[in-house]
Amino acid sequence: MLITAGPTQEPLDSVRYLANRSSGRLGIELADSAARRGYATTLLLGPTSLAPADGRVMLRRFRTTSDLDELLRSEFPACDVLVMAAAVADYRPAVSPGMAGEKLRRTESGMTLELVATPDLLAGCAARRRPGQRIVGFALEPRSALLESARRKLARKRVDAIVANPLETMDSATVEAWLVTGDGPPMGTPGCIAKSAFADWLLDAIEGLGGAS
């Protein structure tokens, strides 16, 4: 089982970055639960102070979207199930390589940052999967558009399931979520539950998924 978790950091210069509030907790709990169930588990983890408790989890760290892309290219082919819980940046600063060892200076005139789109790593994995590999993505959405957006992401990214969770999930100890798949109605958690309980709920659901095409 291959799990990604945590935020990405996209450098702006040698001391600053663009990131998000993901703590990685949900993906870390998933990795611990998967290892306890006996799955050979690899966790690709972004910059966070949290870490898995179970020593059987194989841990590899990333910082940028590009680091994670590289890790997925080497780890994805060997896995049976990918759970993509990482909060991956959609844009990164268009920093010139020359800025690598430098620091942007304050000016009186303000500043406009140029951002470039990052690749969709989840869709990339889905496009190169082999038969039998199952892929679960996440969708962090406002409650008003939760299920509708999750269904759109399921189709667009060509994955087997999307965990739809409201924006409040990020950096919180609890989660209320729905698993949206291509067949049947969405399956919801029993209300708002601890992320450790959610990990077991999701693994049960993943074990119940049919084989991928």
Structure tokens given for 209: 């998924």
The CB-of-106 to ligand CTP minimum distance in angstroms stands at 31
Q: Which stretch binds ligand CTP (CB under 6 A): 40-48, 84-92, 97-105, 173-181?
A: 84-92
- How many residues touch ligand CTP under the rule CB under 6 A: the total is 14
Half-sphere exposure of 73 (CA within 13 A, CB side): 8
Question: Out of 22, 33, 64, 118, which residue is the one contacting ligand CTP (CB under 6 A)?
Answer: 118
- In the set 20, 48, 66, 196, the catalytic residue is 20
The CB-of-140 to ligand CTP minimum distance in angstroms stands at 5
Q: Which of the residues 131 through 170 are near ligand CTP (CB under 6 A)?
A: 137-140, 153
Question: Out of 31, 88, 154, 206, which residue is the one contacting ligand CTP (CB under 6 A)?
Answer: 88
Instruction: Identify the H or E element spanning 37.
Output: none
- Whether the CA torsion 175, 177, 179, 185 is positive or negative: it is positive
Q: Which of the residues 63 through 82 are near ligand CTP (CB under 6 A)?
A: 65
Nearest-10 Cα torsion for 201, 207, 211, 213: 30
Q: Closer to ligand CTP by CB, 56 or 152: give it.
A: 152
Q: Is 138 exposed, middle or buried (0-12, 13-18, 19+ CB in 10 A)?
A: buried
Binding of ligand CTP at residue 129 (CB under 6 A)? no
Nearest alpha-carbon partner for 96 in 203, 11, 175: 11
Residue 101: CB partners within 8 Å, gap ≥ 6? 14
Nearest-10 Cα torsion for 77, 47, 51, 181: -50
Query: Is 165 among the catalytic positions?
Result: no
Binding of ligand CTP at residue 122 (CB under 6 A)? yes
Binding of ligand CTP at residue 121 (CB under 6 A)? yes
Question: Residues interacting with ligand CTP, by CB under 6 A?
Answer: 65, 84, 86, 88, 90, 118, 120-122, 137-140, 153
Catalytic residues: 20
